[in-house]
Structures are given as structure tokens and as C-alpha cells.
Amino acid sequence: MKAAIIQMRSGIDVPENIRAATGLIHKAATDGARFVATPEMTHLMQRDSGKLHKAVRKEDKDLGVKTFSELARILGIYLLIGSLAILRDDGKIANRSFVFDPDGTIVARYDKIHLFEAAISKTDMWREADSYAAGEQSVITAIDNFDLGLSICYDVRFANLYKGYAHARSHIISVPSAFTRATGKAHWETLLRARAIETGAYIIAPAQGGTHADGRKTWGRSMIIGPWGEILAHIDNDEPGYAIAEINISNIEQARAKIPAWKSPQ
């Protein structure tokens, strides 16, 4: 199966972000991608908490959910929208991944479990929990013959989540992200390749990149990594675009046969 990663530079204008994502998804599908994945916060990058709360909508009213469902149906693809900011019934905000099947049906949702917290410098401090509510459950869904385990960005630093996906024999693990420039430069590739190697799974990591309208700066460098830790597709900058790689279950089986770390529960 051909899988594609979409790299974006989303801003504070929801319709414009959706248009940008739609154009890149179309291009990737035209190039033969059966599975297309977009980054974290696909349709809204808004650091200001007050403005964020004014912009978000409940899932059944969200323009992105409606648009991307129809897009998956029209293109006949599996579409992972890395995450959208979604208003929950309790008034809190979820950082939520959506997987749409080729009929446009939502087949999986995943709310980011580990919320980003960092003090990169005295002027660059982050506490995602101030605006978002954490998810509580890991999620696996089917993409044709592949089992896909879902995660988002900061989750990649917490190995136990990926250990669970490895025990469940997930073939693919998604890591849609908006890594800061400082942490991305230092840790992005290392963490992704480590997760691929330790799980023997494909890592699909579409990212945000560049300087955004809300002032934040993200690293980009979206990647698809094979189960032996090899980089199969890579956008080597922070510009919007896409990349495609072929993924194959037999490669997973070969990697896991060489190092059968997850053959039985531990």
C-alpha cells in the first residue's frame, strides 16, 4: 500500500487551513496514495487560549470533520487527519485524531493522552493542559490489511503507549505532530526511529513546519520510517508538501522475526 504524509503550515484561519490540506491530500491521492495522513492541528494553530475557545466547534458542527469526511469518500482513500481542536460536551477541548475510511465514515477517534509541557527557555514555555483535556485510551483501527495504532506528537516520548501497540502487533503507528523547532531539531528523528525499531512497525509522522500566524515555530521534517528504522520518505525542510512511500506487511514480519521482542507478553 502507498502511504503519504502531508506537511503543513497551518494558521489561525480554519477555512484557509482546510483548503490548504485539501489541496495537498488531492495531490497525494492522485500520486497513488491509498492512505494519507495530515499533521497535528490540521485546521487550526492558535496558541491564544481565549481565541482558541472562540474558534473551536463540537464534532458534529466542525467544518473540518465534514469536509474531510467528504474528501475521503470522493478520493476513495483512508484519511488520517492528524488532529483537530474539538469542543467536547463538557466545554473542554480535545486534541483529536480522526480516521476516515474510503466511504467517508469515521472509523476511529483518538484524543491525545500526553499533553505537551516544556520550558524551552524563559520566553518559550508550553503547557498544553491549560487549553486541552487529555485522552485516556489508546486506539487501534484497520487500514485495509494493516492495523494502525494512533498517537499524537508529545505521545512519542512515552514508550509505554508504543509498547502496548507493539504487544497488539500494530503494523503502523501514526505520530502526527507540531514539534517546536528547538525540540524537533534535537529529538524528532531520534525519537521516531527509536519507536520504529523498538516496535518493528512503520511510523507515519506528518508534521507542521515553519513560522505560523500565531507566532509559534515548528520543525517540519515529516517522515515515513520502516520497521527496521530506515527512513523511507522524508521532507527535508519545513515547507508545506507531501511525500509517499510503499509499505508492506512482509517487511514488518521480517523485522520482527529478526528481533522477536514482542513475540509474547512481557
How many CB atoms sit inside 10 A of residue 50's CB? 9
Question: Whole-angstrom Cα distance, residue 224 to residue 50?
Answer: 35
DSSP assignment string, 204-226: EE-BBEEE-TTS-EEE---EEE-
Residue 39 in grid coordinates: 499533521
CB 58 within 8 A of CB 87: yes
Residues 6+ apart with CB under 8 A from 53: 93, 131
Handedness of CA 8, 67, 43, 115 (dihedral sign): negative
Region for 155 from its dihedrals, namely left if φ exceeds 0, alpha if ψ lies in -120 to 50, beta otherwise: alpha
Question: Whole-angstrom Cα distance, residue 234 to residue 225?
Answer: 9
Among 85, 39, 79, 81, residue whose Cα is nearest residue 59? 85
Amino acid letter for position 72: A
Q: From the candidates 2, 40, 136, 253, give the one annotated as an active-site residue.
A: 40
> Among this protein's residues, is 117 annotated catalytic?
no
> Among this protein's residues, is 61 annotated catalytic?
no
Q: From the candidates 51, 92, 136, 153, give the one annotated as an active-site residue.
A: 153
> Among this protein's residues, is 263 annotated catalytic?
no
| 3-state secondary structure string across 187-206 | HHHHHHHHHHHHHCCEEEEC
CA distances from 137 to 52, 110, 113 (A): 24, 8, 7
- Residues marked as catalytic: 40, 112, 153
